[in-house]
Amino acid sequence: MIYIENIYAKEVMDSRGNPTVMASVLLSDGTLQNAIVPSGASTGKREALELRDKDSNRYLGKGVLKACENIETTIANNLIGLNPYDQSHIDMILQELDGTENFSNLGANATLGVSMAIARASASSLNIPLYRYLGGANALTLPTPMLNIINGGSHADNTVDFQEYMIMPLGFENFSQALRASAEVYHHLKSILKDLGHITSIGDEGGFAPNLKSNEEPIEAILRAIEKAGYKIGEDIAIALDVASSEFVENGIYHLKGEDKKLSAEELIEYYERLVAKYPIVSIEDGLSEDDWRGWELLTKKLGSKIQLVGDDLFVTNKKILQEGIDKNIANAILIKPNQIGTVSQTMQTVRLAQRNNYKCIMSHRSGESEDAFIADFAVALNTGEIKTGSTARSERIAKYNRLLEIEGEIAQTEYIGKVLFK
């Protein structure tokens, strides 16, 4: 029987220049695989804990040596000798070892790193792709990308309130065509912004970060780029927004600083209704604060039958919180971030719950990423149908797209569901 022979950890760097955890798993047959854990900037307060050292003498307190130590002591001591192919059992042990709901003892960056590395090592040991190991024969759907091409909010140092302005290439036959079209729009957008006199530096996720005058101006620029690239607005390529409203709410009032507006939840919903009526917007993420459940009920009532309403900070990939949202008819989609919950199995449980209740799922990166492309395989394995992993710039984002191109070439009959995603 193949068993886990050893588990190691190392402090490595993420795309923002901060330390993060790389976990390595060695199996008894000689298989050695790694996994690198991402880190978010805009984080929900209920997501699993990312353990940091808080030693001001190292990395401004952001070191992860303690998380690495937890991997090489507590976690390794309890997992060495076990069957690596029983992912759910291993992940349950990780939960029990920590003993808290949010991994505040071991750190979710420790547990997730080990969980992902074990899944990857198991797939490699069996000589099958990770998506096939986690998803079986049903892993066929290449996800429709949501590409963040203009950054605002906490992802950029500019005057735009909304965190992400994304394009969704819906009207294409396959993933590679969709990605090509998206890259073309991205390059045309750069030219348009440059011609308008804006800087074309990029934010954490590869989108441009210009100082625009309103929250609608980025949409207008993107629509011009779609047209200039030769694609049909709303048909070939549509717009998606990540508002990340928890970042600009205070005492129930939403302050759009870029436009100098202070709005109640009801007024902000009316604002969204006007945007949706005016522009080809098919998805809004975190339109209201993670604490504003009453507002979310109204938002879902007003727009839930028209567009995708995504809970990120709202649900934090947690099946218990998602179940509450399902019971209250809040939102109709969930962002899936494995490091919000702490293990591969818990992530899969949340996706299954969402899919059983007709909530769409969007596999997602974090703003602090690495060359690790685990989520690309994960999106295909779970048939999420959608993925967020940044623009067509920055190598830590491109790593995911390139992996999806590889997967598309490996699967004989892939599905790309962009055309029917919002029918």
Give catalytic residues, as residue numbers: 205, 337
Which segments of 222-264 are extended strands (E)? 237-242, 249-250, 253-256, 261-263
Residue written as tokens 């199996």?
27
- Give the tokens for residue 275: 């945007």
Q: How far apart are the first and last CA of the chain?
A: 48
Residue partners of 299: CB distance under 8 A and separation at least 6? 265, 269, 272, 287, 288, 309
C-beta pairs of 122-125 under 8 Å, 24+ apart in sequence: 122/27, 122/84, 122/85, 122/87, 124/31, 124/33, 125/2, 125/27, 125/29, 125/31, 125/84
Sheet holding 249-250, edge to edge: 249-250, 253-256, 261-263
Q: At a CB cut-off of 8 Å and minimum separation 6, what does 198 contact?
A: 208, 210, 211, 212
d(CA 330, CA 308): 12
- Which residue(s) pair with 241 in the sheet? 165, 284
The strand pairing partners of 19, in sequence order, are 13
Determine the Cα–Cα distance for residues 147 and 229; give it in Å rounded to an integer. 16
Summarize the annotated binding site for Mg(2+) as residue ranges: 242, 285, 312
| Known binding-site residue numbers for substrate | 155, 164, 285, 312, 364-367, 388
Residue 290 tokens, joined: 């993670």
Residue 296: strand, helix, or coil: helix
Determine the longest span between alpha carbons in the chain, in angstroms: 64
Q: Which residues, at least 6 apart from 217, have a Cβ–Cβ distance to it below 8 Å?
A: none
